[in-house]
Amino acid sequence: MNGPGDQLEVLQIEQMDAAELRGLWRQLKGVHPPKTFTARLMRVALAWEVQVKRSGGESTRARRGWLRVISNRIKRSGESRVGITFVSDTVDGTRILKKWGGATHEVFITGQGVMWNGQGYSSLSAVARAMTGTNRNGPKFFGLREGGQS
């Protein structure tokens, strides 16, 4: 771990103002934060990045556990679709996995919106549009509504 932010503490992030958070975001990610991100959302996202970096990321065991859960849900549903279905009421902290274009995409629901690929979006539909290049009903695309087999 030899990069910007290695010595950064979550407590330091909590004490930064919006301008400092934007600078840190650019330093860590190499891009400007999304214009729609508030200071609070940047704090949450940057603190999460620091914790992931410090812990070494998701363990192989945890990743395999998630894949087992996904596989079991698909088998139980009797459908051949790829993707997973969570409860229709998404709450802050919900993690959604979607297989699309030969890759598995991870989307996080936050109190301020939706995060995908380090970018903030206002809705699941905005993420689905960015992911596919076409207008889609986000909750349906991510399997949160019936018929979500896109």
Of the chain, the end-to-end C-alpha distance in Å amounts to 39
pLDDT of residue 12: 85
pLDDT of residue 148: 53
pTM (whole model) above 0.75:
no
Q: What is the 3-state secondary structure (H, E, C) of 51-67?
A: HHHHHCCCCHHHHHHHH
Look at residue 92 and tell me whether its pLDDT is greater than 50.
Answer: yes
